[in-house]
Each structure stands twice: as structure tokens, then as C-alpha cells.
Amino acid sequence: MQDNIKISHKRIITFLIASLLIAISHNLKIDWYLKDVIIPFTILLITYIYIFADKNYINKKAYYLLIPIILILISDMIIKIDWTNKLLNVLVLPFLITVFLMKLTNPNYSITKDYALWIFKLFPKDLFSNLKYLKLKRSNEKSNTSNILLGVLVGLGIGIVILCLLMSADDYFEYFINNITSGIDFDVSSIILFVGSFIVLFSIFVNILVNRKKEVKPLEMKNLDTMMVTIILSIINVVFVLFLISELSRLTINFLQLPVEYTYSSYAREGFFQLLFVTMINFTIIIYLLYKTQNIAKSNRVKYLVLLLIFFSIILIFNSYYRMFLYIGNYGLTPLRLQVILFLAMELIVFYLITKKIIRVLQNDSFKYFIVLNTFYIINLYLCNNNVIDFIMKMLK
């Protein structure tokens, strides 16, 4: 398959134009997030939609994935998002675009746990080795154009690196080069960005072609010792029983007769994020046992202990909600606190889906998790910012 890959000049020119646009946008006097994140990802997306506008490639159902991608791309234009969400978008967008491209071009691709790591099949896999496919053939003769193009790209890349090192090492040489380019709007970083963008765009395209008919082998399921798993889950559940007894005593009549005084404001502040981290530990344990081992399917004892752990996790989520709303009542609502509220709500839904899977032994539920995660992420983008918080606070007054 790999040896038969042939790439037309039209597609190479398309990548060159896209790379040039990315380099030009980098020099625009606009917000860094717009020029270095939104515009490059938008150009990448449009480029591949154009390239794969062919009935031989298209799986039209993949276009539904453009909804969350576009909502993320335009979120900062519609309502200014904070820097943490901007950084999260840098991580989320490559994942969603990868899922979109694989769904678009590979008839065997589906959103399941077995395909979770396929993002690494597109990027950054084989960035430079894929350049060998620039050697196109036409009428059984090597294309001189592709060889020239490859030479220019490689030569420019190495030459620019050497030039920058020499300019850094020798002030006189730096002055000499600057004097030569004084009348030219010469930006070394833009050239590097142009070359780098082409390499990335071209390499992703080759990786798509390599993988567009590939089927993934199901993940190997482990079979841990049932007694060991039972002991681990039992210990964890006992710890939660003790914590639950403590909380019931503290929030009622102190039937444990512990000489500890506290106020609701101190109760709201203490240990909130530790509790949040505990629910994440529980979630990780449950997901691992459910999707990487056969213990839940083969042992009712393990299944019931996992369901009990889910129950305690849900109790912990409601405890966290109670603390958070007490905290908000004392200190007000902020974007971070609203993000926590949404995250806890998402956890509740995910735990519900997990419980349903364990009880009914459902298959192919990864798409539901994908929908839930995307939905809450986009809600977070559009709600968790100061403008919306100010509006909510005004409405509550």
C-alpha cells in the first residue's frame, strides 16, 4: 500500500498555498491566539476538506464532527474565552480534527476504545520520512518538479538553521546579513513556519493515505487475579464507608462525639480539590477494569464491588457539589467554580453510562462518551468566562 502512494502536483501545490497562508497569517498584527491557533487550524481543516472532496474518499457522516470543531474555532470570536481554555483548545482541536479526518477517509474507522490512540497515526508520525513520497512518477519517469521541490524544502530548512546559528555566533556576519536584507521584509521565522507547515500538512496527508483502509486490532484484554482485584476494591470501599460515616456525623448531630469545631465556610473550603481528585482516581480504576480487563465480566463479586465504588463516587460528587455551592454562597461565582460544577455534572453522566454498561453489558458505547465530553467541553467554552459570570450574577440579584 505504502509503495503505491502517488501524490499529484495539484495536491502538492494546495499544501504549498496552505503553508504560505499560515506563514503570512503569522505576521498579521492580531491577537496571538487568532493568528497562531485559530487561523492555522482553520486553514488545515479547509485544506483537507478540499483535498478529500472526492466520492472515493468521503464518508459524509464525518461532517457531523465539524459541528464541535467549528464551535471551538469560533468560540473566542463570539465570546472571549480565558487563556486556560485557549490552551485546552490547542490540545483538543488536533484530536477532533484527527477523528474527523479518519472518519472521513477510512470506512473501517469508528469511535471506539480500540481507535483511541489513532491520533498518533497522523501526527507527529513520520514527519520527515514521508517526504520520500514527493518523488512522483509520471509515464514511468521521475518527476523533475517533485525532486526540485524536495531539494528546495530540505535545502531551505537546513540552510536557515545554519544561517541562524552563524548569525548568532558572529555579530559581524549578522550585521552583514541584516545589511543585505535591510530593504526586504525578511522574517526567518516566517520561512521556517512555511517549511514546517508544508512538512506537517504533507506528512498528515501521507499518513491518511497509509491508514485509510487499515483495520485496527481490538485491544488485548487482561485477566487480573480475581482475589487481588477483590481485595483492592474492598479496601477502597471500606475507606469510603468510613468517610461516609464521618460526613454523616459532621453534618448531623456529631454522633461520633468528635471534639472538632467547624463553620460551613471552612467546611466548604477544606479539601474540595482533593475530593475531586479522589473521584478521578475512582474513575480511572473503574475504566481500567471495565475496558482493559475481563474481571468485571467474569466475576459477579468484582462487578458488585465496582458498582459499590461507583455509588460512593456519586456520593462524593454530591458532597463536592454541596461544598462548592456553600463556597459560592460565601465568595461568589467565578469561571473556575462554574467549570467545576460542569465537570461534576459530566462525571455524573459518565458514571451513569458506565453503570448502564456494567449492568446491561452494552457494546460500542465509546461514541456516547465522545458526545458527552464534547458537549460539556463546548458548554464550558461558552459559559465559563467573566462576561457570562457577570451576566449570571446580575440576573441573580
Q: Along the 397 residues of the chain, how does pLDDT read in single tens digits? A: 455 667 777 888 888 889 888 888 877 778 889 988 999 999 999 999 988 876 666 677 888 899 999 999 999 988 888 888 888 899 899 889 988 988 888 877 777 766 666 667 777 677 777 877 776 444 444 455 556 666 766 777 677 778 777 887 778 788 887 776 665 455 667 778 888 888 888 888 888 888 877 776 766 778 888 899 999 999 999 988 888 887 777 666 655 555 556 555 555 555 566 777 888 888 889 988 888 888 888 889 999 999 999 998 898 888 888 878 878 877 788 888 888 889 889 999 999 999 988 888 766 677 888 899 999 999 999 988 888 888 777 776 6
Strands, E, within the chain: which ranges?
137-138, 141-142
pLDDT of residue 325: 83
Could you tell me if 388 and 79 are in contact, meaning their C-beta atoms sit under 8 angstroms apart? yes
**HSE-CB for 157 with a 13 A CA cutoff:** 14
How many CA atoms are closer than 13 Å to the CA of 47, on its beta-carbon side? 27
CA-CA distance, 361 to 298, in Å (whole number)?
12
The amino acid occupying position 154 is: V
Neighbours of 323 (CB within 10 A): 19
Residue whose C-alpha cell reads 472538632 in the numeric block: 260
C-alpha to C-alpha distance for 115 and 95, rounded to whole angstroms: 12
φ, ψ dihedrals at 141, nearest 5°:
-120, 145
> H or E stretch including 295?
helix 295-298
- pLDDT at res. 162: 82
User: Under DSSP, is residue 142 helix (H, G, I), strand (E, B) or coil?
Assistant: strand
The model's pTM: 0.76
How many residues are recorded in the chain? Answer: 397
Q: How far apart are CA 29 and CA 17, in angstroms?
A: 21
Contact (CB, 8 A) for 366 and 113 = yes
User: What pLDDT, on the 0 to 100 scale, is given for residue 231?
Assistant: 92
Cell reading at 197: 507547515
Query: What does the block give as the cell for 143?
Result: 518527476
Q: Are 59 and 105 in contact (CB under 8 A)?
A: yes
Helix, strand or coil, per DSSP, at residue 170 = coil
Q: What is the Cα–Cα distance from 93 to 90, expressed in whole angstroms?
A: 6
- Quick check: 193 and 268 in contact, CB under 8 A? no
Amino acid 66 reads L
Please tell me the predicted confidence (pLDDT) of residue 45. 94
Whether 92 and 377 have beta carbons less than 8 Å apart is answered as yes
User: 141 by DSSP, 3-state: which?
Assistant: strand
Q: Which residues pair with 137 in a beta bridge?
A: 142
DSSP state of 38: I
Burial of 25-35, coded b for 16+ CB within 10 Å and e otherwise, reads: bbeeeeeebeb
pLDDT of residue 208: 86
Residue 395 has a pLDDT of 76
CB atoms within 10 A of CB 128: 10
Please say whether the beta carbons of 316 and 246 come within 8 A.
no
Determine the Cα–Cα distance for residues 69 and 57; give it in Å rounded to an integer: 20
Coil/strand/helix, residue 138: strand
Closest alpha carbon to 210 in 85, 89, 294, 126: 126
Alpha-carbon gap, residue 60 to 358, rounded angstroms: 33
Nearest to 68 by CA among 99, 105, 37: 99
244 touches 312 (CB < 8 A): yes
Largest CA distance in the chain: 90
